[in-house]
Amino acid sequence: MLNDKIKNYLHLHFLVFIAGFTAILGELITVSAIPLVWFRMLIASILVFIYIKVSKTDISISPKSVIKLFVAGIIIALHWITFFGS
């Protein structure tokens, strides 16, 4: 079995590959930026919901954290809209 350092390097390289591949896919996709970001958010939400149900994870979030997550989500969505829009 690989040691932790090698596994972490492979994981990092895989994530960098995916992040770099996003620009190529953004160029090839013909959907405009806003619907594309909504589709991505919908798919991510469904997959996170399925993961929570399958792993039986108990989630309790304070109202203060919900506001922080909401603001972070808006910032990330604006980032992706401008990224795919360009």
Longest pairwise C-alpha distance within the chain: 44
pLDDT tens, 33-52?
A: 888 888 888 999 999 999 99
pLDDT in tens, 1-43: 568 888 889 999 998 988 888 778 777 878 888 888 888 889 9
User: What pLDDT is stored for residue 58 in this prediction?
Assistant: 84
Ramachandran area for residue 59 (φ above 0: left; ψ -120 to 50: alpha; else beta):
beta
Q: Name the token pair of 75.
A: 């910032």
Helix, strand, coil in percent for the chain, rounding step 5: 85, 0, 15
Residue 67 has pLDDT above 90, yes or no: yes
Residue 59 has pLDDT above 70, yes or no: yes
**Residue 55: what pLDDT?**
93
What single-letter amino acid sits at 17? F
Distance of alpha carbon 83 from alpha carbon 24, whole angstroms: 12
